[in-house]
């Protein structure tokens, strides 16, 4: 079967350009440039052309957006409110034109205007309103809700500054403020008319008693009613961004709140020349939506973070209640018409806030208000890391949110009362079940609050769901055995294959058509090409083209030359000890030493690519970045290993860089300590783009192993149960090191400063910790990992066979589409019906 050469844009979206459509788009772009951007085409910058193009594309979105909103009202579809403090969106131009299938039209229109299409796409800043997995999942889920036809509303914060920009200076991470809004954001619509007051501080006053209740739970002649009198108000103003679904079937809304002061200034201070004081409150208010907290595991625990969590949660719920009442007139039907998904505990105050609204503003007694709330809210947990589980000091909550703390006490009382008469629950477990952690300063467990206030609680992979039942939510699971479930994460194939890998997408479309873009399971049809050597050759060529594209970018940015013929071995994700970038670089050092020892050995050329940000205060993670760069400097300047091993750390990892790197990967590193990676989503993106995974039996690696088949993945290391057993029965890293000479030699080289001649002791503490503690079990998994890497080398030697295994990965990744995950949420948790049925490709 002879297939045409690989080209740049995928077929469907590369359906022949329609001259009239191109002409029309060209006209619109010119008009936007002239009358909105206000620029003469002869002097327009590439950014001006980007803005004009985005505005032209936006026009085509708005019509369908309004249709969608009308449709939701007319069909009184169930609304899904996805509350997330993070949306790691990335760029939107390519996503919008691809989902509207106007990619070739746009390229043709700009080309005819003499403007470089790829340059226009590359000038868009990433919307980096998230840290990592949790934030990106929210973005994929928004796109999938629109694509499968659900009335999904995303709610979050419009940070002035997203995740910091990472610069690498002398091998060290430097954080630089991110500034995506300075160039304006053509994708958002300021909704000056959509504002809500959000209160902070103050006191709660008893108004009159709450007594008996009528049959609908509404209080009759209330003995005590509480009025919260906040000390200050902040205004939440809405900014709406359209979320374009596949083929523009539906355009949903992402509503991000920005904080504004309730008073523009304190005039009397100003008149007294106290200018700073005059604006102090304003700064305090606007600070709430100023910047994203850059932590993705350890809560900063700062008051401003709590204010962010309550600010967007309250504005979002007030907006939801306003919309519901305007359509249905009574709040009693809320659970039927709306469901709220909490993206981790960051919006967990929603439980107390919805109860407050129902009790204080709609007169419900607390128990009924809690039932209505439980019927409306669901909670997703994304991590088991003890340090990542949020809890807030009771005194801080009492000061900042006195009414909510009161309500949390009452919810806890109801919760504990329910337990009291459950004989099978041992009384000494009460403290573990309480929403209040009494140890040390009293703190509210936000995971417990979210759990008790939700109809369902889900993990993000099978193993994660199981571990939630056995660890963090063990006691609550015993109390509510049917509340915990799991929905394994997914990724959108539109962004993570169609848009970032046109070479492979073209090949797939020619082979099986493009129905898979809306119906991912169709990728399975590719299996029949695994014995088609011509196709496998084309498949390998597509990978090769992506590797050359990445190598060119790395040469440009880092002036490091990567050989596209080598195996591209990639680990890109947030820097964290449990993700074990350290295990990867230690194995690279051992491999480097082995090559040096046997230079004439027929080594498989390997390029090790790293990228990832460390939370600003996470010093051990930053030290590991430095070690990777120290090793890279040594290895890349060592002629003895020139064409056998290269190491590169690419700065400022973000969505756009991931879109460049993932299509070029041969090997995907998913090597977390088993039991610690809740799911992972990068693992899915790599396998989808035809990379083999080397990984532990952790998170969604387990399901990937099940779907792609044991022959097409490289699993090694301790299982989660074995890790837990070692924790219980003792783990002896010294013995592991003694049993593995390569590891011992590697650690000695690192400890003694071989890679840090400028500071020989730089890694002494790191090696000591490994030798004496090794909490993340690196020494236990090193030998198995190194052996598995060599096994990978042997597989890679046979490029045809490697391509076959890689193709089987792509073919068998359909299940990992976020469309599948969203359909599961809709049927299992939300009780909402997607308009387009699974497999219903048009």
Using only C-alpha atoms, the chain has a radius of gyration, in whole angstroms, of 28
Pick from 442, 304, 456, 315: nearest CA to 374 = 456
Task: Provide CB contacts within 8 A for 25, sequence distance 6+.
Answer: 56, 102, 105, 106, 109
CB 187, min distance to ligand 26W, A: 24
The active-site residue, picked from 250, 573, 613, 644, is 573
Buried b (16+ CB within 10 A) or exposed e, 307-323: bbbbbbbbbbbbbbbeb
Least distance (Å) from ligand 26W to the CB of residue 672? 8
Tokens 């991912």 label which residue? 520
Least CB distance to ligand 26W at residue 834 (A): 21
Neighbours of 794 (CB within 10 A): 9
CB of 134 to ligand 26W, least distance (A): 3
Annotated catalytic residue, options 136, 158, 685, 820: 685
CB of 295 to ligand 26W, least distance (A): 5
DSSP β-ladder status, 667-670 and 645-649:
unpaired
* Minimal distance, residue 189 CB to ligand 26W, in Å: 28
In angstroms, the CA 89 to CA 406 distance is 37
CB of 718 to ligand 26W, least distance (A): 18
φ, ψ dihedrals at 26, nearest 5° = -55, -45
Q: What are phi and psi of 321, to 5 degrees?
A: -65, -40
Q: What minimum distance in Å lies between the beta carbon of 8 and ligand 26W?
A: 31
Residue nearer to ligand 26W on the CB measure, 569 or 677: 677
Structure tokens belonging to residue 823: 């359909």
> Closest-CB residue for ligand 26W?
133
Q: Catalytic annotation on 225?
A: no
681 is catalytic: yes
Q: 689, 684, 678: which is closest to 704 by C-alpha?
A: 684
Q: Where are the alpha helices (DSSP H) in 291-401?
A: 303-328, 334-337, 350-356, 366-376, 394-400
Task: List the one residue out of 278, 92, 119 whose CA is nearest residue 188.
Answer: 92
Distances (CA, A) of 430 to 370, 408, 416, 479, 561: 20, 16, 7, 11, 61
Which class for 289: exposed (0-12), middle (13-18), buried (19 or more C-beta within 10 A)? buried
Q: Across 650-703, where does the E strand assignment appear?
A: 667-670, 692-695
Distant-in-sequence, close-in-space partners of 827: CB < 8 Å, separation ≥ 6: none
CB-wise, 651 or 680, nearer to ligand 26W? 680
Non-local (6+) Cβ contacts of 583 within 8 A are 671, 778, 781, 782, 785
Give the nearest distance from C-beta 344 to ligand 26W in angstroms: 5
Tokens 């194995």 belong to residue = 587
Catalytic residue among 26, 121, 483, 574: 574
Measured from the CB atom, the residue of 382 and 415 that comes closer to ligand 26W is: 382
In degrees and rounded to multiples of 5, residue 87 shows phi and psi of -135, 105
Q: Report the C-alpha gap between 746 and 741 in whole angstroms.
A: 8
Of 382 and 622, CB closest to ligand 26W: 382
For 687-703, letters b (16+ CB in 10 Å) and e give bbbbbbbbbbbbbbbbb
Active site residue 574: yes
Strand ranges (DSSP E) for 172-314?
172-176, 189-200, 203-206, 226-229, 232-244, 251-261
Q: Could you identify the residue written with the tokens 């699971």?
A: 477
Rank residues 540 and 720 by Cβ distance to ligand 26W and give the closer one: 720
**Angle at alpha carbon of residue 672, lines to 622 and 765, rounded to 5°:** 40
* The one catalytic residue among 681, 696, 810, 836: 681
Q: Collect all residues with Cβ–Cβ distance below 8 Å to 456 and sequence separation of at least 6.
A: 378, 379, 483, 484, 485, 828, 829
| Least distance from ligand 26W to the Cβ atom of residue 828, Å | 16
Q: Provide, rounded to whole angstroms, the least separation between the CB of residue 388 and ligand 26W.
A: 4
At its nearest, how many Å lie between ligand 26W and the CB of residue 805? Answer: 24
Active site (annotated) includes residue 455: no
Give the N- to C-terminal CA distance of the chain in Å, as an integer.
26
Asked if 384 contacts 467 with a C-beta cutoff of 8 angstroms, the reply is yes
Nearest to 818 by CA among 535, 493, 522: 493
Contact 269, 257 (CB under 8 A): no
Active site residue 685: yes
Number of C-beta neighbours around residue 434 at 10 A: 17
Residues that bind ligand 26W (CB under 6 A): 131-134, 137, 295-297, 299, 344, 382-383, 388, 390, 460, 489, 677-681, 699
Residue nearer to ligand 26W on the CB measure, 28 or 701:
701
The least distance separating ligand 26W from the CB of residue 274, rounded to whole angstroms, comes to 36
Among 579, 591, 608, 788, the active-site one is 579
Cβ proximity to ligand 26W, 365 vs 491, nearer residue: 491
CA separation for the pair 555, 706 (Å, rounded): 38
The CA-CA-CA angle for residues 519, 669, 611, to 5°, reads: 100
Nearer to ligand 26W, 45 or 617 (CB): 617
Catalytic sites, residue numbers: 382, 573-574, 579, 681, 685
């Amino acid at each position: 079967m002879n297939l045409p050469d690989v080209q740049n844009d995928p077929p469907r979206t590369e359906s022949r350009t329609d001259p009239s459509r191109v002409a029309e788009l060209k006209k619109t772009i010119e008009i936007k440039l002239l009358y909105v951007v206000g620029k003469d085409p002869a002097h327009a910058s590439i950014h001006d052309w980007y803005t004009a193009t985005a505005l032209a594309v936006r026009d085509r979105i708005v019509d369908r957006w309004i249709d969608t909103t009308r449709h939701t009202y007319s069909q009184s579809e169930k609304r899904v409110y996805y509350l997330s403090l993070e949306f790691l969106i990335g760029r939107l131009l390519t996503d919008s034109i691809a989902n509207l299938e106007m990619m070739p039209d746009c390229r043709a229109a700009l080309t005819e205007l003499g403007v470089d299409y790829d340059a226009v796409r590359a000038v868009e800043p990433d919307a980096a309103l998230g840290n990592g997995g949790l934030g990106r999942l929210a973005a994929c889920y928004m796109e999938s809700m629109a694509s499968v036809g659900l009335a999904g509303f995303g709610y979050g914060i419009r940070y002035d500054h997203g995740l910091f920009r990472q610069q690498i200076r002398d091998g060290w991470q430097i954080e630089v403020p991110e500034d995506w809004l300075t160039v304006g954001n053509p994708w958002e619509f300021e909704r000056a008319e959509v504002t809500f007051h959000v209160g902070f501080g103050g006191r709660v006053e008893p108004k009159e008693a709450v007594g008996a209740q009528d049959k609908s739970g509404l209080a009759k002649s209330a003995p005590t009613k509480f009025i919260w009198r906040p000390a200050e108000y902040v205004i939440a103003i809405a900014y709406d961004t359209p979320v374009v679904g596949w083929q523009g079937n539906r355009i949903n809304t992402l509503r991000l709140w920005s904080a504004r002061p309730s008073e523009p200034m304190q005039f009397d201070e100003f008149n007294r020349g106290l200018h700073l004081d005059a604006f102090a409150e304003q700064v305090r208010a606007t600070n709430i939506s100023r910047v994203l907290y850059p932590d993705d595991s350890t809560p900063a625990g700062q008051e401003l973070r709590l204010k962010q969590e309550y600010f967007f949660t309250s504005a979002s719920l007030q907006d939801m209640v306003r919309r519901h009442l305007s359509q249905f007139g009574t709040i009693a039907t809320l659970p039927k018409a709306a469901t709220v998904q909490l993206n981790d505990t960051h919006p967990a105050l929603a439980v107390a806030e919805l109860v407050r609204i129902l009790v204080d503003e709609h007169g419900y007694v607390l128990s009924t208000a809690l039932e209505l709330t439980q019927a409306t809210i669901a909670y997703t947990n994304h991590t088991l890391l003890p340090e990542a589980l949020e809890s807030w000091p009771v005194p801080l909550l009492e000061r900042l949110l006195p009414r909510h703390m009161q309500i949390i006490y009452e919810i806890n009382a109801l919760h504990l009362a329910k337990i009291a008469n459950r004989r099978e629950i041992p009384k000494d477990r009460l403290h573990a079940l309480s929403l209040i952690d009494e140890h040390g300063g009293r703190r509210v467990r936000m995971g417990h609050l979210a759990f008790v206030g939700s109809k369902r609680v889900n993990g993000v992979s099978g193993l994660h769901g199981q571990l939630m039942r056995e660890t963090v939510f063990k006691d609550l699971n015993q109390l509510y055995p049917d509340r915990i479930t799991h929905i394994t994460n997914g990724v959108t194939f539109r962004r993570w294959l169609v848009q970032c890998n046109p070479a492979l997408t073209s090949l797939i479309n020619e082979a099986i058509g493009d129905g898979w873009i809306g119906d991912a399971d169709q990728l399975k049809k590719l299996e029949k090409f695994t014995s088609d050597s011509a196709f496998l050759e084309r498949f390998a060529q597509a990978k090769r083209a992506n590797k050359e594209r990445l190598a060119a970018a790395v040469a440009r940015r880092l002036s490091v030359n990567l050989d596209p013929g080598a195996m591209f071995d990639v680990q890109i994700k947030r820097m964290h000890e449990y993700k074990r970038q350290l295990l990867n670089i230690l194995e690279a050092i051992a491999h480097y030493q082995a090559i040096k020892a046997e230079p004439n050995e027929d080594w498989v050329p390997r390029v090790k690519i790293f990228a990832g940000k460390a939370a600003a205060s996470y010093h051990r993670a930053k030290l590991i970045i430095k070690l990777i760069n120290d090793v890279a400097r040594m290895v890349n300047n060592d002629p003895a290993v020139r064409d056998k091993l290269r190491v590169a750390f690419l700065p400022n990892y973000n969505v756009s860089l991931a879109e460049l790197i993932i299509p070029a990967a041969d090997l995907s590193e998913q090597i977390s300590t088993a039991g610690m990676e809740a799911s992972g989503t990068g693992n899915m993106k790599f396998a989808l783009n035809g990379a083999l995974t080397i990984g532990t039996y952790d998170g969604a690696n387990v399901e990937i192993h099940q779907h792609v088949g044991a022959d097409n993945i490289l699993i090694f290391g301790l299982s989660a149960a074995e890790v837990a057993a070692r924790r219980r029965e003792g783990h002896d890293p010294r013995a592991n090191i003694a049993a593995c000479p390569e590891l011992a030699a590697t650690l000695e080289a690192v400890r003694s400063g071989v890679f840090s001649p400028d500071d020989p002791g730089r890694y002494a503490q790191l090696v000591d910790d490994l030798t004496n503690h090794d909490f993340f079990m690196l020494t236990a998994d090193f030998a198995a990992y190194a052996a598995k890497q060599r096994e990978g080398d042997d597989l890679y030697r046979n490029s045809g066979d490697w391509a076959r295994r890689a193709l089987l990965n792509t073919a068998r990744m359909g299940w990992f589409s976020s469309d599948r995950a969203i359909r599961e949420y809709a049927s299992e948790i939300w009780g909402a019906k997607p308009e387009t049925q699974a497999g219903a490709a048009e």
